[in-house]
Amino acid sequence: MSQLYQLSDHTRAAIRQFRLATSRADALQTLVLAIRPRPSYEIVVDNDATEEAAGEVSGLEDLAEVLPDNTPRFVLLAYPLSSDGRQRTALVLLHWKPATVVSQEWKMLYAGATELVRSECAPNKFLEVSSGLEEDADVEDLRSQIEA
């Protein structure tokens, strides 16, 4: 069976490296994935957003600043938790789909690729974010979903 979406070896290696390197992370870390447009529909690491996030994102409230306002993305988060006194890092996959996405094609592409990305990343939690994280209540809601 042929597949519309493809993950390159480079992307698979980047995901694997992220999982291994962040398993004991003390701070929030991100890896942003995007789908290249036609004809390839290849799922790749969005290097610009990932590098920008590395320098600017210290918490969930900063995440909306580095992600595009009108294009979906997959965001792999290494989210440090210490609820019971033990330090652990949860791997969370966010399907970033802002309400301002105009193109139905992009919505369908990302919806169709969700299971492939989810199975490759093997996160502890998968969450869809459509609020844009503009309000403090949206950030707190996302935080409570991650920490639940």
Distance CA 34, CA 75 (A): 9
Q: Where are the domains of the chain?
A: 6-147
pTM for the full model?
0.90
Mean pLDDT of 35-41: 87
Q: What angle do CA 121, 123, 128 make, to 5 degrees?
A: 100
Q: Tell me the CB-side half-sphere exposure of residue 47, using CA atoms within 13 A.
A: 2
Judging by DSSP bridges, how do beta strands 88-96 and 29-35 pair with one another?
Answer: unpaired
| Inter-residue contact 64 to 113 (CB < 8 Å) | no
pLDDT digits (tens, 9 = 90+) for 18-29: 999 988 888 899
pLDDT digits (tens, 9 = 90+) for 88-119: 899 999 999 988 887 888 889 999 999 999 99
- Across all residues in the chain, what is the average pLDDT? 89
Beta-carbon contacts of residue 35 (< 8 Å; ≥ 6 apart): 5, 41, 42, 43, 44, 109, 110, 113
pLDDT digits (tens, 9 = 90+) for 39-65: 888 999 999 988 888 888 888 888 888
Mean pLDDT of 74-94: 88
CATH class of 6-147: alpha beta
